[in-house]
C-alpha cells in the first residue's frame, strides 16, 4: 500500500506505544485471548503458520487468536476489509489484491478447519499491521519535536499488534480506529465526503494537508493533550477515551502558536509573569513615565535574567531608554489574583518559550476567534486540567511564588493546526489566520 503522492513514504511509523503509569514507554499488557475455549489445535496451527514478528506476538499470548472467536473469524475482519478497500481516504492506494486474497482466505476458514482458521488469523494480522504502518507514515505536515522521543518512528509488526490486543474491546478498537487520533478519523470522513462530491483540487490539497497534521497525532490509548491553534480548543486523552476538552486562547497572527510537540513535566503554582521585552518598552515604560509606580502595577524590575537577580529600585532605571528600545529590562508581574498567568502554568522544555497557563482574562475565552496571546496557551479551566495532570487540586495555602511541582507522569502535548471541518452543507475551512494552509 503506497502513498498517492509517491512511493517514497511507503510505510509509516506507528507512534502508539502506551505510556506506562510510571511515565516511561513500555509494551502494553495483552488483553485476554479471544478464543480460549476453541482448544489446542488452533493454537498449534497458529504456531506453525506464523513467522517473524507475527510469531513473536502470538507466542506472547500463548498462540491464542485475535481475530477468531468460537471457531470462526469475527466481525473485526469485515471492518479491516472495509478500511483496506477505502484506503484512498487515507491518502493511500487501495490494495484491491490484498482485499481479494483476504476474502478468499476467510472464505476457506468457514468450514472450521484449524489450519484454515490459523491461516486467516495470521493473514489478517499481517494485513492490519501493514495498513496501520502506512496510515501513520509522516506526510507533508511540519511538526517541531521539542522532545525527540515523540518523533514518529517506524514500529515493527509486533508493536502494532500488541497495541491492538491491549484494549478489552477489540471490536470497539477496530470500529473507532483506536490506533489513530479522533481528529484523524473525523478528517478521514471528510475526505470520503470530498472524494465523492466533485470537490475542486485546491480544496482536496488543503484537506490532505489537514489530514497529514492529524496523522501524526497519537491515538486515545496514549495519555496525551492536543491543542488546536486553529479552533482554539484543547482535548486530553487516556485509557482509550477523550477525558475532557476546553476552550483556549492561542497566539495572535503576529505571535503564532507553533506546531510543536513536547512533554509536560512541571506545574508552577503562584507563578510570576515575565513581561516580554516589547511590552516592557511599549506598555510598562510609558506608564511609569506618566507617573505610575511599579508597585501599583504589581511588578518588579530585576538586574538580569540569571537565577539570583537583584531587585532594582525604579530610580535606578533609565526609563526613557527602555521606552525608546535602547535598553532591555527584565520585568515580572508578581503572583496574585490579577497575574496574567493566573494560579498555575504547566511547563514543557522547548526553545520557543511556549507553555500552558491559567488566565484571569475570561472575556477572551468567550469570543469565537481566540487568537490573542503571545504564543502561549491560556486555559479555560486550568484547575480541571491540573487535577488530571497532578491527580490532586492545584489549590495551595502557601503564597510562596513559583512553587514547582513535578507531574507524576510526563504527559505529551501536541500543538497542531487543523482548519478543516464539516458543516451541514459539506466541507468548510476556518480562516487560515496563520497562513499555513497555502
Instruction: Specify the pLDDT at position 4.
Output: 38
Residues of the chain with pLDDT below 50 are 1-37
Amino acid 353: pLDDT = 93
Q: What is the pLDDT of residue 93?
A: 85
Q: What is the pLDDT of residue 39?
A: 60
Q: How far apart are CA 147 and CA 415, in angstroms?
A: 13
Q: Can you give the pTM of this predicted structure?
A: 0.87
pLDDT tens digit sequence for 407-419: 999 999 999 999 9
Q: What's phi and psi for 134, nearest 5 deg?
A: -70, -40
Q: What is the dihedral of CA 285, 287, 290, 294, to 10 degrees?
A: -80
Contacts (Cβ under 8 Å, ≥6 apart) of 314: 288, 293, 294, 301
User: pLDDT tens digits, residue range 119-175?
Assistant: 999 999 999 999 999 999 988 899 999 999 999 888 789 999 999 999 999 999 999
Q: How far is CA 235 from the centre of its chain?
A: 9
Task: Supply φ then ψ for residue 19, to 5 degrees.
Answer: -80, 125
Name 6's bridge partners.
Answer: 3
Per the CB < 8 A criterion, the answer to whether 87 and 95 are in contact is yes
Nearest-CA neighbor of 65 among 41, 34, 39, 28? 34
**Predicted local confidence at residue 281, as pLDDT:** 96
* Cβ atoms of 131 and 84 closer than 8 Å: yes
Amino acid at each position: 500500500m503506497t502513498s498517492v503522492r509517491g512511493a517514497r513514504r511507503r510505510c509509516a511509523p506507528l507512534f502508539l506505544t502506551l505510556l506506562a503509569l510510571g511515565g516511561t514507554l513500555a509494551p502494553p499488557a495483552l488483553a485476554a485471548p479471544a478464543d480460549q475455549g476453541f482448544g489446542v489445535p488452533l493454537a498449534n496451527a497458529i504456531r506453525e503458520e506464523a513467522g517473524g514478528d507475527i510469531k513473536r506476538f502470538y507466542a506472547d499470548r500463548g498462540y491464542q487468536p485475535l481475530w477468531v472467536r468460537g471457531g470462526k473469524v469475527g466481525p473485526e475482519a469485515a471492518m479491516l476489509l472495509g478500511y483496506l478497500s477505502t484506503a484512498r481516504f487515507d491518502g493511500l492506494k487501495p490494495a484491491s489484491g490484498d482485499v481479494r486474497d483476504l476474502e478468499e482466505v476467510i472464505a476457506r476458514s468457514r468450514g472450521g478447519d484449524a489450519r484454515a482458521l490459523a491461516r486467516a488469523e495470521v493473514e489478517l494480522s499481517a494485513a492490519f499491521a501493514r495498513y496501520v504502518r502506512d496510515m501513520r507514515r509522516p506526510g507533508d505536515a511540519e511538526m517541531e519535536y521539542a522532545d525527540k522521543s515523540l518523533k514518529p518512528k517506524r514500529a515493527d509488526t509486533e508493536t502494532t499488534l500488541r497495541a491492538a490486543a491491549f484494549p478489552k474491546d477489540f471490536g470497539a478498537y477496530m470500529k473507532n480506529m483506536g490506533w489513530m487520533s479522533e481528529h484523524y478519523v473525523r478528517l478521514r470522513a471528510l475526505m470520503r465526503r470530498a472524494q465523492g462530491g466533485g470537490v475542486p483540487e485546491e480544496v482536496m490539497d488543503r484537506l490532505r494537508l489537514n489530514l497529514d497534521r492529524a496523522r501524526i497525532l497519537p491515538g486515545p490509548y496514549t495519555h496525551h493533550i492536543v491543542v488546536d491553534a486553529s479552533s482554539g480548543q484543547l482535548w486530553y486523552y487516556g485509557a482509550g477515551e477523550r477525558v475532557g476538552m476546553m476552550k483556549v486562547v492561542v497566539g495572535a497572527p503576529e505571535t503564532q502558536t507553533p506546531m510543536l510537540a513536547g512533554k509536560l513535566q512541571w506545574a508552577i503554582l503562584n507563578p510570576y509573569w515575565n513581561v516580554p521585552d516589547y511590552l516592557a518598552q511599549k506598555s510598562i515604560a510609558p506608564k511609569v513615565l506618566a507617573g505610575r509606580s511599579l508597585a501599583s502595577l504589581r511588578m518588579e524590575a530585576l538586574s538580569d535574567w540569571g537565577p539570583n537577580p537583584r531587585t532594582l529600585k525604579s530610580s535606578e532605571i533609565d526609563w526613557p531608554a527602555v521606552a525608546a528600545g535602547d535598553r532591555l529590562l527584565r520585568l515580572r508581574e508578581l503572583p496574585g489574583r490579577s497575574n496574567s498567568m493566573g494560579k498555575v502554568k504547566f511547563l514543557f522544555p522547548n526553545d520557543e518559550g511556549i507553555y500552558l497557563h491559567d488566565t484571569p482574562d475570561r472575556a477572551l475565552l468567550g469570543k469565537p476567534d481566540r487568537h490573542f496571546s503571545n504564543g502561549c496557551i491560556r486555559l479555560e479551566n486550568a484547575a480541571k486540567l491540573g487535577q488530571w495532570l497532578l491527580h490532586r487540586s492545584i489549590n495551595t495555602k502557601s503564597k510562596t511564588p513559583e512553587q514547582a511541582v513535578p507531574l507524576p507522569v510526563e504527559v505529551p502535548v501536541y500543538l497542531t493546526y487543523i482548519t478543516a471541518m464539516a458543516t451541514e452543507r459539506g466541507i468548510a475551512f476556518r480562516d487560515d489566520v496563520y497562513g499555513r494552509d497555502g
